[in-house]
């Protein structure tokens, strides 16, 4: 039985500057998924929403291989904060 989508769950603890990673995407897939998502956000425009102030942020990416679509859910309150956390993850985890 195949899954309809693959999931990446990132939790970022701002106080310890640590990431916890979960989901069913392999290590190489994580990097590709995050990079592809961020490329798709370029030119999306400014987000004036007020960022949520939290100690731990949760971002979930879901990739649907059937149509190569990526969906995101997060509790950051602001796309700039969300994308900044994703860029920080990439910077710290690229080989």
pTM for the full model?
Answer: 0.90
Strand 6-13 with 56-64, pairing:
antiparallel
Give the pLDDT confidence of 53-86 residue by residue, as tens digits: 999 999 999 999 888 899 999 999 999 999 999 9
Q: Report the pLDDT value the prediction gives residue 27, as an integer from 0 to 100.
A: 83
| Domain spans in the chain, listed from the N-terminal domain onward | 6-93
Give the pLDDT confidence of 12-43 residue by residue, as tens digits: 999 999 999 999 998 888 999 999 999 988 87
User: What are the Cα distances from residue 22, in Å, to 19, 41, 58?
Assistant: 10, 23, 11
Give the span between the Cα atoms of 26 and 28, in whole angstroms: 6
Q: Report the pLDDT value the prediction gives residue 46, as an integer from 0 to 100.
A: 81
Give the span between the Cα atoms of 19 and 58, in whole angstroms: 10
84: phi then psi, degrees, rounded to nearest 5? -65, -40
Q: Is 46 helix (H, G, I), strand (E, B) or coil?
A: coil
């Amino acid at each position: 039985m195949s899954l309809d989508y693959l999931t990446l769950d990132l939790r970022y603890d701002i106080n310890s500057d640590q990431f916890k990673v979960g989901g069913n995407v392999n290590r190489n897939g994580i990097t590709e998924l995050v990079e592809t998502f961020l490329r798709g956000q370029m030119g999306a425009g400014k987000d004036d929403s007020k960022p949520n102030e939290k100690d731990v942020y949760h971002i979930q990416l879901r990739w649907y291989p059937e149509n190569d679509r990526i969906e995101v859910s997060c509790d950051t309150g602001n796309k700039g904060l969300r994308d900044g956390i994703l860029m920080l993850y990439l910077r710290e985890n690229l080989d």
